[in-house]
Structure 1
Amino acid sequence: MKNKYIPLLLFLFTASFLGFSQGATEYTGGMKVKLNEDGSKYFRIISWAQFWAQHTDNTTLNSTGNEEADLNFSIRRARILMYAQLTKKFLILTHFGLNSQNANNMGPVGKSDSSQLFFHDVWGEWQLTTDHSIGGGLHYWNGISRANNQSTLNMLTLDNNRQSWSTIGLSDQFARHMGVYLKGKFGNLQYRVSVNEAITNSLDINGTPTINTATYNGRAILGGAEASKNYAGYFDYNFLDQESNFLPYKVGSYLGSKRVFNIGAGFFYHPNGSTILDAQTNDFIGEDVSIFSLDAFYDAPLGDNGSSITAYLQYQNSNYGENFTLGQTYETGSMLYTHVGYLLPGDTDRKVKIQPYTSFNYRSIDAINDNATRIGIGGNLYFTGHHSKLSVEYSNQKYGNLDAVGTFTVQGMIYL
């Protein structure tokens, strides 16, 4: 065995040990502190971390022209979330942390951009009625799809489908918009709608629009009067067990603890979000950004043998502007995404559970008149449900006529 694989084996052993160190399988809701006798006033703190070891067969070079290592370690996520119910009517939530920290973006004294903690969410919410609430701030009450509202605590796959987080860095800060939202339910129909501010310093702020190719920097070029606001919504009908909409984060897999079947539809609309060069006037003009999605989610036990199935299907049509592409991640075109997982049979009270899964992403891309595909095959080893688990995944991604890239990733995760 090559020496370069020894660190990967050590990581597997360490992640397994950390998983068992959490203790008993019972989970009592994290660190919850009552502020009065009946517990109606409280605050709760949740903390989680995801550690990655990743091997890729794609040869890359650093800034000096030297070949990069093909085995790398990183902190995929390290987060702390706290929310407080001050009265039955009012809720405040704060959520901060860091993402994707590795040897290339760490700072010598922890002060580089990628080393810094930042707020992911900060919002306050007021309950209008028992089933309807209004709130505002830096929030995650997103539109488009279930996957665009995915929790990072309980995903079925190693990570969320990247293209389902459809506006990260283009109109928002790490999937969070600054704005106001309304959320609630009418019987079995849940909804969330929002009006938000678009960021000025987007990932595409330095993009140069041409006659045939749009860039997503409308607010920077056209100004806030024309391109500042965007609108989003997601609606899902709960046919079986009702999911909670107390917080916006959608569960990825219930491991058979609920019987859920939902069908949803959502949208995102940003007038003049993108810009393109007008051939007649040689001026930059705005193009509307619009994204629409339909999806379905099913999670249920299979008989009485402790097994369960989790399945998700999404169709998304994305219009970021004419022939828009950015980093093989965002493109004007359409996408079909699905994943399926199967929790293997066993005693329902067993501590260790195994869940193999597979995922598939197919995208049509207008700008290159070609397609992109990604296949993922992996599995989760649960020690204490999602609170302590080890995940492995092999993915193979093909983009247009470029060579396919295979990646093998191991993740150890704990959340309290």
Structure 2
Amino acid sequence: MKKLLFAGALLASRAVPGQSVSPTTAPAARDSLSHAVEVVQPKPAPVADKNELKYNLNTSGTHFFKVTFLNQTWLRLNQSNPGTTVIQEAKPQTLDIGLRRTRMQMFGQLNDRAFIYLQFGMNNFNYLNGFPGFNTAGTPSNRKIAAFFHDAVGEYLVFRDKDYLKVGGGLTIVNGLSRFSQPSVSSIMSMDVPVFAQATVDQTDEFSRKLTVYARGQVGKIDYRFALSDPFPIQTTGATPPALSSNATFALKGHHKQVQGFVAYQFLDKETNQTPGYMTGTYLGKKRMLNLEGGFVYQKNAVWHRENVADTVYQNLNLWSVAAFLDMPVSPAKGSAINAYLGYFHTDYGKDYLRFNGIMNPASGSTVTLPGVSGIQGNAFPMFGTGNVLYSQVGYLLPQDLLGRGNGALMPYAQAQIARYTRLTEPLGVYNIGLNWLIRGHNSKMTLDYQNRPYYGTSGTQLAPAGRRGQLTLQYQVFI
């Protein structure tokens, strides 16, 4: 027995040949085999970073609730249109910092058929937010009033587990004119969308959203949506409505519903169809998209103008478009991809309608006046009008290893908006070139964009181009 005990002790001491004991260890610990043995725990496997905030409502994850956050910050240098003033001082150029979009989405598939979608946030927040010091009611304005509900939608899936038909309603961007009339702004290929495609933005809608009932879905290769909207009166924009004149403006009398429809034929992959309305800007080579698209917006007696001094003439709002959309990988092995869009828009807002608009305009006024239009300062140009528009964009996602592993990817792009509006003597041309640095896809990206646009002077009853100005913008987008 003594020999067996001695052999067991000897084997135990040899089981830890590499063991070292700290000189500060107590003698009792050094003498104890239980303290001398070092137990090495296996390292846990690395956990992949999550890029979404999602709570599953069932074990399979088919029922869920999700929250997203988006912030787009701009640093911009702009050559001002002639006569531009900023808080009553002449400014030939401006440098401003702003929040183009700050949004929070909350949505989820609550059960097999019910879907809810909410979006809250603000847009175009720069140092002029809330300016001038008094609003049209004569009360002090407030720079802190900016955020609002963009969307509040409930949707019902008619056929279980099939996207054939979804019916919904609420405050929504579901729209008929084009894919850029209902863009998913977190995934756009360029720095900004072609805002002219959001045809009634902040006129008879709430930042492109209207109170709407709709039906949408995907049947085979067809993606469709049809909507009946209840437009807001022009009197509720917060600005003084334009006076009745020989040029069409939105009517101050009468109220009619708006009918909209959009159909896309998808030759290859299908569009993402989860959230109501929103259409992806670029899939960054993750899908093979080739679409032919068309849409329309119609509203009876939406606009008016004056003829023969005393006669008031009402006209219909009649907008339609046809387009082709391409977004697909070029070299899957290298991660390169192409995005391209070409669209033709017929925009009939009534006789000689024309509206200037400047995105997050960095200027507050102008010493120059043009007949029948307002808001011509800063970076504004005639964005909307009765006539026809050709819009195109193209971008190329360069190989993923160009900057080295883990350093993101580059995507240069170009945009062009060419319009022939009846109030202009010559076609309008607005051009953008830019470069995306996709640090982590759309979740973290920087965009440098240069825009070249015309400014205008008077030519009889029309407006004529008088020169051109430029704008350089750096955007940083964070999205989860």
TM-score by length of 1: 0.87
Question: In 1, distance between residues paired with 2:90 and 2:303?
Answer: 37
1:84 Cα offset (Å): 2.2
Inter-CA distance 77–160: structure 2 relative to 1 (3 Å threshold):
same
Question: Structure 2: how far apart are the matches of 1:363 and 1:256?
Answer: 31
Shift in Å, 1:284: 2.5
CA deviation after TM superposition for structure 1 residue 198, in Å = 1.1
Cα 1:393–1:26, aligned 2, differ >3 Å: closer, same or farther? Answer: farther
Q: CA deviation at 1:65?
A: 3.2
- The answer to whether residue 201 in structure 2 is matched with residue 147 in structure 1 is no
- Is 1:31 the counterpart of 2:82? The answer is no
Runs of 4+ off more than 6 Å? 24-27
Unaligned runs of 5+ in 1: 1-23
29 and 193 in structure 1: CA distance in 2 versus 1, 3 angstrom threshold = farther
CA drift at 1:69: 5.7
Change (3 A) 1:401 1:357: same
Letter in 1 for 2:243: T
State the partner residue of 2:426. 370
Residues 209, 157 of structure 1: alpha-carbon distance in 2 compared, 3 angstrom cutoff: same
Counterpart residue type for residue 346 of structure 1 = Q
Alignment correspondent of 1:213 = 247
Matches within 5 A, 1:225-304: 228-247=256-275, 248-279=277-308, 282-303=310-331, 304=333
Deviations 1:22-58 (A, max 9, x none): xx99675511112233333321001010000000122
- The CA distance in 2 between the partners of 1:364 and 1:335, in whole Å, is 6
CA distance in 2, matches of 1:26, 1:274: 55
Cα pair 1:98 1:115 within 8 Å, conserved: no
1:379 alignment counterpart: 435
Contact 1:337–1:360 (Cα < 8 Å) also in 2: yes
Contact 1:25 1:384 in 2 (8 A): no
SS in 2 for 1:222: coil
Aligned to 1:183: 216
C-alpha displacement at 1:351, in angstroms? 4.4
How far apart, CA to CA, are the structure 2 residues paired with 1:111 and 1:320?
31
Please say which of residues 199-208 and 119-128 is displaced more in the overlay: 199-208
Aligned counterpart for 1:222 among listed residues 253, 262, 267 = 253
Identify the match of residue 311 of structure 1 among 340, 348, 355: 340
Verify the 8 A CA contact 1:306 1:344 in the aligned structure 2: yes
Cα distance change on mapping 1:268 and 1:336 into 2, 3 Å: same
- Is this contact kept in 1: 2:125–2:146, CA < 8 A? no
Letter in 2 for 1:206: P
Q: Report the 3-state secondary structure (helix = DSSP H, G, I; strand = E; otherwise coil) of the residue aligned with 2:249.
A: coil
Aligned to 1:44: 66
Which amino acid in structure 2 is aligned with residue 200 of structure 1?
P
Q: Deviations over 1:254-312 (max 9, x none)?
A: 111111101100000011110122438x2433210110101111011113322111101
The answer to which of 81-90 and 331-340 deviates more is: 81-90
Q: Counterparts in 2 of 1:54-133, with a 5 A limit? A: 54-58=76-80, 60-67=84-91, 70-105=94-129, 112=142, 115-129=145-159, 130=162, 131-133=164-166
Tell me the residue number matched to 2:355. Answer: 326
C-alpha distance in 2 between matches for 1:237 and 1:88: 27
Please give the alpha-carbon distance, in whole angstroms, between the structure 1 residues aligned to 2:181 and 2:150.
15
- Distance verdict in 2 for CA 1:117–1:245, change over 3 Å: same
| 2:445 is the alignment partner of 1:389 | yes
TM-aligned CA deviation for residue 113 of structure 1: 5.8
Indicate which of 130, 146, 170 corresponds to 2:203.
170
Query: Following the alignment from structure 1 to structure 2, what is the Cα–Cα distance between the partners of residues 58 and 410?
Result: 17
Q: Amino acid of the residue matched to residue 50 of structure 1?
A: Q
Q: Deviations over 1:209-244 (max 9, x none)?
A: 22x31111x2xx2223xxx31111110011011112
Q: Report SS of the residue matched to 1:32.
A: strand
Name the structure 2 match of 1:19. Answer: none
Contact 2:151 2:172 in 1 (8 A): yes
Q: Is the 8 A contact 1:180 1:195 kept in 2?
A: yes
Q: Which has the larger radius of gyration?
A: 2
Which has the higher mean CA deviation after the structures are superposed, 168-177 or 375-384? 168-177
Alignment length (residue pairs) = 384
1:10 maps to: none
1:164 alignment partner AA: A
Equivalent position amino acid for 1:365 in 2 = Y
Q: Matched residues, percent identical?
A: 29
- For residue 343 of structure 1, the aligned residue among 386, 397, 400 is 397
User: Retained in 1: the 8 A contact 2:123–2:146?
Assistant: no
Contact kept? 1:352, 1:382, Cα under 8 Å: yes
Judged with a 3 Å threshold, the aligned counterparts in structure 2 of structure 1 residues 25 and 342 are, in CA distance, closer, same or farther, namely farther
Query: CA deviation digits over 1:47-80, x for unaligned, max 9?
Result: 0100000001226212423437621100111000
CA distance in 1, matches of 2:233, 2:412: 42
What RMSD, in angstroms, separates the aligned Cα atoms of the two structures? 2.3
**Deviation string, structure 1 residues 118-168 (Cα, Å, up to 9, x no partner):** 010001011112220110000111111111121110111110012122121
1:172 positional shift = 1.2
Query: How far apart in 2 are the matches of 1:330 and 1:154?
Result: 24
